[in-house]
Structure 1
Amino acid sequence: MSPRKANPFKPTAGRMPPLLVGRDGIIDDFVEGLDDGPGAPGRLMCVTGARGVGKTVMLTEFGRIAKERKWGVVDETASDGLAKRLLERFVPDRPSVNLSVKPSLSVAGLGGFSLGEASVSSQRMPLTLREAMGRRLDVLERRKAGLLITVDEAQSAAREDMVAIATAVQHLTREERNIAFVFAGLPTIVSKWLNDDVLTFLRRAQSERLGDIPLDEVRDAFVDTFEESGIVIDGDALRMAVDATEGYPFMIQLVGYHIWRISYRRQRDGKAAENGMSVSEDDAREGVSNALSRLGDAVHGPELDGLSPVDKTYLLAMAQDDGPSSTSTIAERMGKDVGYANIYRTRLIDAQVIRDVGYGKVDFAIPYLRRYLREHAAYIRMSAHDGR
């Protein structure tokens, strides 16, 4: 028996897909930024988008590109203690390095950052982080390289952490050091960080809002990826696969993964046609069904978990329609006036859960969310009621 082939599709957050479909523009901007030197626009970038559009994948690709150029790459995901973790990663394991730290105090509530046996206050952290980054750059720049810092899920960062990082990067950029900073997250980071008076430096960040992929590019990606693994996908099977994705990047990976898996297993077990391996319509149909089941657990559930009870009520009112919903109708179903409903309409549009389709109507921005809401309506209503 020949060795089992690896599935070329990777429907897991942060894992590199076989093709970065539809992302050539943002990648070119980043590469151009590295090549153009300190201060280039592509070196300070904010990547936003709804869940599943490939934000983490983009950060991973940026890191790969930087490493190819022998750059140092530091990847972090925002949560409590972000600045402290960055500082710990920059401190060399040599006692000769003297960072500006003070002895740790066992006093609760002072808001300091622990660093091994030392502590750095929130007021001191920006300068300390800047010194640590500068020392790392001293080494990298001697090799004609630079430093890339990426922060994922930036909407979850504490304000003092973002102040410390932005301040350090700003000063190093002014000094024309070879540094790049890319942060990514849900669309809420635009209002949370880019409009913060203390974080005005981040307003200069090149904004990249990731969206859906044109279906003709999805079709080409499927054909190329299956072909490279020795399987042909065409005809109605290809059409089913492409249409099922609706251009949603995570769904592209899910559909491709499950169709490839089913087709490969069937043909590996001795059922392949004499002219080679190919995807049947049954393979495509079953693969799409499996992908839809997984999409709910991976995207829809987590997305709804992050919304307020009234947000969920608004979405349930929308889900009663087979297509775009009228704002006035949604308000009526919620038992509220249009002004009240519009507050949540705006919130959900900003979060890219729904989209404005004109003429006072909205539709779902996340594929198959309507179907998920209908299938789980009773549970969602109960959880929304409990959350009030």
Structure 2
Amino acid sequence: MKAKENPFKPTAGGEPPLLIGRGKVIRDFEKGLDNGVGAPGRIMLVTGARGTGKTVMLTVFGDRAKARRWDVIEETASAGLCERLVDALRTGRGALDHLTIRPSLTFAGAGIGLGEAELSPKRMPETLRSAIAGRLDALEKRHAGLLITIDETQAAERSDMIAIATAIQHQIRERRNIAIVFAGLPQMISDLFNDEVITFLRRAKTNILTDIPLDEVRDAFATTFRASGMSITDAQLSTAANVTAGYPYMIQLVGYHIWDTADMRDSDTIIDADVTAGIEEARIDLDNAVCIPELQGLSKNDREYLEAMAASDGPSPTVNVAQRMGKTPNYAATYRKRLLDAFVIRETERGEVDFAVPFLREYLRRNQ
């Protein structure tokens, strides 16, 4: 009997039916909740390139926490982050008119607490710390806890991060039942660890999401296709797995389009033509969703720098990139910095540069 529903879900942030290669990350988080206050998984950083499933992990963590009767507050970093957090923490008690976080430092022996919040005159003074404490007071009466997740942390304002880190630190000192997970691009870790004011977060459990081993991708494809009623050969599974390069978003795209191509023929047997057509559709979707948006807004010289990088199969010494551009290293360094700041490229441990956006190298080679 022909399968009815496509089991692959290449939707941004949506939880796919089968999570591949993320068991340890999920286990670390669940152990943090179950082992109580002070467990490493109670403060976590999840990082990785775009499309590696960071937002999916936050969704999964939220589901696991809710299953334990915890409250979950989900936010995305942008201007006004702390305002929205306080508002969410006090849901049902009226929205806030205005909130200003006033972080401060100890200077010459005089210290002022971080994380203070100043409301408009229409409201009584509140703080992020007291808002969290108030929510926890209610939750702990029913032996529940609070999970806060913050996505795209690399976009957070420093003052918001100081306020959040300070407020959470106080709750942990008071042995409150709270957990927080930050997700963001790899630059997030560097920024947080290099900020002397947010040293508390250096103790967070860090999970770096990398590409999935191809044998796990192949096994996951086999399980998912066959469980949905589609028959597929071992050779077809290998072809599909290899083209994904283990990139989580591409895994979902390839699976979705191969399945859909067979379904359009009203068949529950995948043929080689379905695999070929599905892979091509997946590449088009990946280009439109990932590669093209990354290149929009870049200057001609930015793109020239990327095209020079694309001539290498892996990381490129910056001097080689400059030579391919026909420019001096100092000239090329301007565009290197711009692309690093935009998270389009990354610096390797050896000081070389590589693409931070999966499949962008291949896209540039096809479209030069």
Q: Same fold (TM over 0.5)?
A: yes
Aligned to 2:181: 182
Matched, 1:298 2:324: no
Aligned partner of 2:224: which letter?
T
Deviations along 1:185-227, whole A, 9 cap, x unmatched? 1112123233212211112111111110000000010011111
Aligned to 1:222: 221
Deviations along 1:115-173, whole A, 9 cap, x unmatched? 53x43332232961111111111121122211000000011111222122111111101
Aligned identity (percent) is 53
Aligned partner of 1:296: which letter?
D
Equivalent in 336, 342, 359 of residue 368 of structure 1: 359
Partner Cα separation in structure 2 for residue 35 and residue 225 of structure 1: 30
Question: How does 1:38-57 map onto structure 2 within 5 Å?
Answer: 38-57=37-56
Aligned to 2:38, what secondary structure does the other structure show?
A: coil
Shift of 1:46: 0.8
Equivalent in 286, 302, 324 of residue 333 of structure 1: 324
Aligned partner of 1:90: which letter?
L
Does the aligned pair in 1 maintain the 2:146–2:179 contact within 8 Å? yes
TM-score normalised to structure 2 length: 0.85
Partner Cα separation in structure 1 for residue 90 and residue 67 of structure 2: 24
Aligned to 1:86, what secondary structure does the other structure show?
A: helix
Gaps of 5+ in 2: 103-115, 119-125
Aligned to 1:82: 81
Aligned to 1:20, what secondary structure does the other structure show?
A: coil
Matched, 1:319 2:310: yes
Aligned to 2:127, what secondary structure does the other structure show?
A: helix
Partner Cα separation in structure 2 for residue 149 and residue 300 of structure 1: 31
Aligned to 2:101, what secondary structure does the other structure show?
A: coil
Aligned to 1:244: 243
Aligned partner of 1:151: which letter?
I
Does the aligned pair in 1 maintain the 2:2–2:229 contact within 8 Å? no
Shift of 1:43: 0.8
Aligned partner of 2:176: which letter?
R
Does the aligned pair in 2 maintain the 1:187–1:352 contact within 8 Å? no
Gaps of 5+ in 1: 96-114, 378-388
TM-score normalised to structure 1 length: 0.81
Aligned to 1:48, what secondary structure does the other structure show?
A: strand
Residues 326 and 175 (structure 1), Cα distance of their counterparts in 2 relative to 1, 3 Å cut: closer
Does the aligned pair in 2 maintain the 1:324–1:357 contact within 8 Å? no
Aligned to 2:311, what secondary structure does the other structure show?
A: coil
Q: Please tell me the root mean square deviation across aligned C-alpha atoms, in Å.
A: 2.8
Deviations along 1:290-329, whole A, 9 cap, x unmatched? 0000101111123334867655332111223466655443
Partner Cα separation in structure 1 for residue 167 and residue 81 of structure 2: 14
Residues 308 and 77 (structure 1), Cα distance of their counterparts in 2 relative to 1, 3 Å cut: farther
Shift of 1:234: 1.9
Partner Cα separation in structure 1 for residue 50 and residue 287 of structure 2: 12
Does the aligned pair in 1 maintain the 2:77–2:151 contact within 8 Å? yes
Partner Cα separation in structure 1 for residue 10 and residue 184 of structure 2: 19
Aligned to 2:201, what secondary structure does the other structure show?
A: helix
Residues 335 and 153 (structure 1), Cα distance of their counterparts in 2 relative to 1, 3 Å cut: same
Residues 59 and 25 (structure 1), Cα distance of their counterparts in 2 relative to 1, 3 Å cut: same
Aligned to 2:117: 125
Does the aligned pair in 2 maintain the 1:213–1:249 contact within 8 Å? yes
Partner Cα separation in structure 2 for residue 75 and residue 94 of structure 1: 19
